[in-house]
Structure 1
Amino acid sequence: MAAGASPSGSSRKRERQYEHIKESAEERGASEGRAKEMAARTVNKERARSGEAKSSSKTSTGDSKSASQRGGERSHRGAQGPTKDQLYEEAKKKNIDGRSNMNKQQLRQALGR
């Protein structure tokens, strides 16, 4: 895990970060394998962002927020954003007229997305 990390003690920090993320994921119901994968990906991205990794991808370093700052902002959005049902519920909360006859694209437009 600490391979390629700088000798300045940050490898211990990353090991603690890895364990914390893994344990949190397992507490939320992720399998051990999935929890390890999530922790490793997060820690590797943080290492790349801070210059501790020997190499890094554009997606690792190009994001303006770290994974911990982002805190799952992108989760559950998928490739096509919220589902029609999710958009409909939001339109219902905002009391948008005609929402029951709208398709997904129309709901997006009515919600200003």
Structure 2
Amino acid sequence: MPRGDKSSYTDKQKRKAEHIEQSAKERGRSEEAAERIAWATVNKKDGGGKKTAKKATKKATKKSAKKAAKKSGGRKAAKKATRKATKKTAKKGTKTAAKKTARKKTGKSPRKAAKKSGRKQAAKKGGRKAAAKKRASRRS
């Protein structure tokens, strides 16, 4: 795919970009600047082109299935291999999508969020320990 190719974008994304471009032109931006801003905005909001490369994934799964069939020598094995390959690609897609939505919601990477919560828990524990020490010293 050549640089700047918009074929991987859905019709809705293209309409969004067109609308953003028109409003940027109305505000006095040049043609090039308006287009650049429009596509940058669409990419920021949607995370790039949403159209899936169905043909490419099908070809890849068929190739891997053929290889597996040659090795094992049966149709059943070929079918299993295609199922496995499609499941793997589907899992990858859902995992990356889940990570993206988590990042969008928190605004931070999952590691940073985990670090922060760990710090909070440690601070709570420290506070509890200090209170327990005070109570123990009062009793004795």
TM-score (norm 2): 0.31
- Higher-helix-fraction structure: 2
TM-score (norm 1): 0.38
Whose Rg is larger?
Answer: 2
